[in-house]
Chain A
Amino acid sequence: MNARHKQGRILPGFNITFGITVLYLSLMVILPLSMIVLHLASGDTQAALTSLISPRVLHALRLSFSLSLVAAFTNVIFGLLLAWILVRYRFPGRRLIDGVVDLPFALPTAVAGIALTTLYAPNGWLGSLLSLWGIKAAFTPLGIYVALIFVGLPFVVRSVQPVLEDFDSEVEEASLSLGAGRVRTFFAVILPVLWPSLLAGFSMAFARGLGEYGSVVFISGNMPMKTEIVPLLIMNRLEQFDYMGATSLGLLMLVVSFALMFVANVLQARLGERAAGVR
């Protein structure tokens, strides 16, 4: 007992829970992912890796990364706004809106893709309006951007919301009464506390965007060198029974996504410490 107390563990059973966690994580995540590496190592690795350096792959990579990035940024701004309204105000229909936020999680992505395409196609409600200004949404990168905003939205709202709920509005009031002004209060008092959760939401939305396939293929038009995303290229290669080529692309996405999530997690931890300091 004493020894445990010294190590600061309140609940017993660290060994068992840790063992189960490692086993679970291995079975559900690490083992399937390591199959990618194993599969790649079993064949002509070099040819598979050189297949990554083609103009089409590079274009798709650029497109996937830039659009996911911009969509995640957009979600940070509007997701924060949405979370703010949901937490700080009481208005009729609040619970309904709160529920709607989760819809992109629950809806099959193909349904989302078809619905968005119907809306943004040149003959759709929004598409026909946009075409008055000569803007094409469906079957252009803009359409992909819209789809990625849709699938990424809940991540930001749901990670910021609980932090906002815990945030004591007295701190805000104190800042205001000390003469800090609204803008300064927002940037100097509120935002530092929110950074870690915003970053978490951002990185999850970003990663989701990188891997998104179902909704994007409907709205993108899948034009090589124009609107072709990386997951579509993976499917292209699978359709040619080019397992090695598909796997090498998969591995590339895996490595990049992991690196991004890792950096985001480290940053988030640092920011979290700083935010705690601010409080």
Chain B
Amino acid sequence: MTLRNRLLLLLVAVLTGQAEALAERIKLLNASYDPTRELYQEINSTFVAEWKKGHSSHIDVLQSHGGSGKQARSVLEGLEADVVTLALAYDIDQIAKRGGLIALNWQSRLPNNSSPYFSTIVFLVRKGNPKGIKDWEDLVKPGISVITPNPKTSGGARWNYIAAWGYAERKLGLSESQAEGFMKKLFANVPVLDTGARGSTTTFVQREIGDVLLAWESEALLAKEELQAGAYEIVTPSMSIMAEPPVAVVDKVVDKKGTRLAAESYLRYLYGETAQESAARHHFRPRSESLTVKYAEKFPLIEMLEIDRDFGGWDKVQAKHFADGGVFDRIYAPSS
């Protein structure tokens, strides 16, 4: 709409007293991480249609995608996102703690740790599973090549790492130093550490490197569905982790822009049946009970560890494993 048309419209509105002609236009920006692009395209269009029914205002939802940590830094540095939907709570915590842009109790403001959908970590193997990989302990065997992204650069890959660690501690009953040895053996089997999850998928699928790809179930299902049929199989380990990508309203931004109401209804909408079904179709596990039943075959039951309950939360995990000099660095330290 050109300025002239806008002025004309204003004139018409004033003359006829029709406020509707000037219906308020709300714009929301959702800063998300990479693999949710298609999911949010679908959710946004149904949300906009839904909003139209109950409101006189018009709403647009814009999307921004990038690595989870990168998106968090953008918001910290001034990207005016109304909501963030990232790969791990740690990144949203940083926006809350370092920038004070989000209330510290953000994760308790919405149900299910503010994660409207979730996923888990599974194995993608080549057709027929030639190396017979069934569970985490198969990954540390000599001669097995494992593809997983670098947990230092990829937020999503930190779930892979923690799932393996959790299995070593809980299922194999290893002590902490033994678990470190387990991880050392596992990562000795990793020939390439891509910086992100999609990079690892490319390495595994296009470059044909590795016997097994550690991936979010959502990514594994996507790879299986979009690539040549039957070329890959998903192996579900006996124990994995509940990977929760959480969502939050960015308080400072919505209060400044006056979009709190819209932003909050957008996030609540994610828990509704329509959005839940979109999530399930895009390979994320829904929270809705009826849909859990409906998609039971796609998402088999699996014993899942939880980051807060079993590992004491991201702050602890981060400091212990991924900070400089942490367990992950020690794994790669030259053995003396």
Is the pairing of A and B real? yes
- Chain A residues close to B by CB (< 8 Å): 51, 54-56, 117-118, 121-124, 138-139, 217-218, 221-225, 232, 235-242, 245
- B153 contacts A236, CB within 8 Å? yes
Query: Counting chain B CB atoms within 10 Å of each CB, which of A124, A221, A224, A239 scores highest?
Result: A239
Residues of chain A with a CB closer than 8 A to B199's CB: 218
Distance in Å: Cβ of B202 to nearest Cβ of chain A: 8
Instruction: Let me know if B333 is at the binding interface, CB within 8 A.
Output: yes
Which residue of the partner chain, among B94, B322, B332, contacts A224 with CB atoms under 8 Å? B332
- A225 contacts B191, CB within 8 Å? no
- Tell me the bound Cα distance from A223 to B328 in angstroms: 12
Query: Nearest residue in B to A51 (C-beta to C-beta)?
Result: B324
Which residue of the partner chain, among B154, B192, B323, contacts A240 with CB atoms under 8 Å? B323
Binds A, one of B7-15, B101-109, B160-168, B203-211: B203-211
- A139 contacts B152, CB within 8 Å? no
- A221 contacts B192, CB within 8 Å? yes
- B192 contacts A222, CB within 8 Å? yes
- A239 contacts B153, CB within 8 Å? yes
- Tell me the bound Cα distance from A55 to B67 in angstroms: 27
Which residue of the partner chain, among B72, B323, B329, contacts A56 with CB atoms under 8 Å? B329
- Tell me the bound Cα distance from A122 to B206 in angstroms: 11
Taking A122-B207, A123-B208, A235-B153 as contacts, is the C-beta distance between A56 and B195 under 8 angstroms?
no
Sample (13) of A-B pairs whose CB atoms are under 8 Å apart: A51-B324, A56-B332, A124-B207, A139-B209, A222-B153, A224-B332, A232-B153, A235-B153, A239-B154, A240-B323, A240-B324, A242-B323, A242-B324
- A223 contacts B192, CB within 8 Å? yes
Residues of chain B with a CB closer than 8 A to A224's CB: 193, 329, 332
- Tell me the bound Cα distance from A221 to B202 in angstroms: 12
Residues of chain B with a CB closer than 8 A to A223's CB: 191-193, 332
Residues of chain A with a CB closer than 8 A to B334's CB: 55, 225
Residues of chain B with a CB closer than 8 A to A245's CB: 324
- B193 contacts A221, CB within 8 Å? yes
Taking A56-B332, A221-B193, A223-B193 as contacts, is the C-beta distance between A239 and B155 under 8 angstroms?
yes
- A240 contacts B152, CB within 8 Å? yes
- Tell me the bound Cα distance from A245 to B154 in angstroms: 18
Query: Nearest residue in B to A120 (C-beta to C-beta)?
Result: B207
Distance in Å: Cβ of A214 to nearest Cβ of chain B: 11
- B98 contacts A241, CB within 8 Å? yes
- A222 contacts B194, CB within 8 Å? yes
Query: Nearest residue in B to A124 (C-beta to C-beta)?
Result: B207
Query: Nearest residue in B to A225 (C-beta to C-beta)?
Result: B332
- Chain B, interface SS category: loop
- A121 contacts B332, CB within 8 Å? no
Other A-B contacts than A54-B325, A223-B332, A239-B69, 10 sampled, CB-CB below 8 A, are A55-B334, A56-B333, A123-B208, A217-B195, A224-B193, A235-B153, A236-B153, A237-B324, A240-B318, A240-B322
- B191 contacts A139, CB within 8 Å? yes
Residues of chain B with a CB closer than 8 A to A117's CB: 207
Query: Nearest residue in A to B333 (C-beta to C-beta)?
Result: A55
- B207 contacts A121, CB within 8 Å? yes
Residues of chain A with a CB closer than 8 A to B32's CB: none
Query: Counting chain A CB atoms within 10 Å of each CB, which of B191, B195, B208 scores highest?
Result: B195
Instruction: Let me know if B201 is at the binding interface, CB within 8 A.
Output: no
- Tell me the bound Cα distance from A163 to B196 in angstroms: 44
Residues of chain B with a CB closer than 8 A to A124's CB: 207
- Tell me the bound Cα distance from A158 to B150 in angstroms: 37
Query: Nearest residue in B to A242 (C-beta to C-beta)?
Result: B324
Distance in Å: Cβ of A63 to nearest Cβ of chain B: 14
Distance in Å: Cβ of B200 to nearest Cβ of chain A: 11
Residues of chain B with a CB closer than 8 A to A238's CB: 69, 73
Distance in Å: Cβ of B228 to nearest Cβ of chain A: 15
Residues of chain A with a CB closer than 8 A to B67's CB: 239
Render B303-336 as a binary contact track against A, CB cut-off 8 A, 1 for contact: 0000000000000001000111100010011100
Query: Counting chain B CB atoms within 10 Å of each CB, which of A55, A224, A235 scores highest?
Result: A224
Q: Which of B114-172 contact A (CB under 8 A)?
A: 150, 152-155
- Tell me the bound Cα distance from A123 to B206 in angstroms: 9
Distance in Å: Cβ of A227 to nearest Cβ of chain B: 9
Distance in Å: Cβ of B251 to nearest Cβ of chain A: 19
Query: Nearest residue in B to A217 (C-beta to C-beta)?
Result: B195
- Tell me the bound Cα distance from A166 to B152 in angstroms: 51
Distance in Å: Cβ of A61 to nearest Cβ of chain B: 15
Distance in Å: Cβ of B81 to nearest Cβ of chain A: 17
- Tell me the bound Cα distance from A51 to B324 in angstroms: 8
- Tell me the bound Cα distance from A123 to B208 in angstroms: 7
Query: Counting chain A CB atoms within 10 Å of each CB, which of B152, B155, B191, B199 scores highest?
Result: B152
